[in-house]
Amino acid sequence: MSVFSRRQFLRSATLAGTAALAAPALIGRAEAAVRTLTVASLLGPDKPETMIWQNIRDRVEAELPGAFRFNIVQNAALGGEKEVAEGLRLGSIQASLSTVSALSGWVPEAQILDLPFIFRDGNHLNRVLDGDLGAELKQKFAAQQFIVADYINYGARHLLAKEAITVPEQLAGKRIRVLQSPLHTALWSALGANPAAIPIPETYNALATGVVDAMDLTKSAYAGFKLYEVVPWLTETGHIWASGVVMFAAPFWNGLSDPEKEVFQQAAQAGAAYFDALIVADEGASIELALENGGHVIQPEDRPAWEAGAHPVWQQFADKVGGMDKIEAIRAAD
pLDDT (tens place) for every residue of the chain, 334 residues total: 444 343 443 344 444 444 444 444 433 434 458 999 999 999 999 999 999 999 999 999 999 999 999 999 999 999 999 999 999 999 999 999 999 989 989 999 999 999 999 998 999 999 999 999 999 999 999 999 999 999 999 999 999 999 999 999 999 999 999 988 889 999 999 999 999 999 888 999 999 999 999 999 999 899 989 999 999 999 999 999 989 999 999 999 999 999 999 999 999 999 999 999 999 998 999 999 999 999 999 999 999 999 998 889 999 999 999 999 999 999 888 7
The domain tally of the chain equals: 1
| pLDDT tens column, 233-267 | 999 999 999 899 999 999 999 999 999 999 999 99
26 located within any domain: no
154 located within any domain: yes
22 located within any domain: no
Among 151, 168, 137, smallest CA distance to 268 is for: 151
Calculate the CA 17 to chain-centre distance: 52
- CATH number of the domain that residue 207 is part of: 3.40.190.170
24 located within any domain: no
Classify 321 as helix, strand or coil. helix
12 located within any domain: no
- Domain region containing 298: 34-332
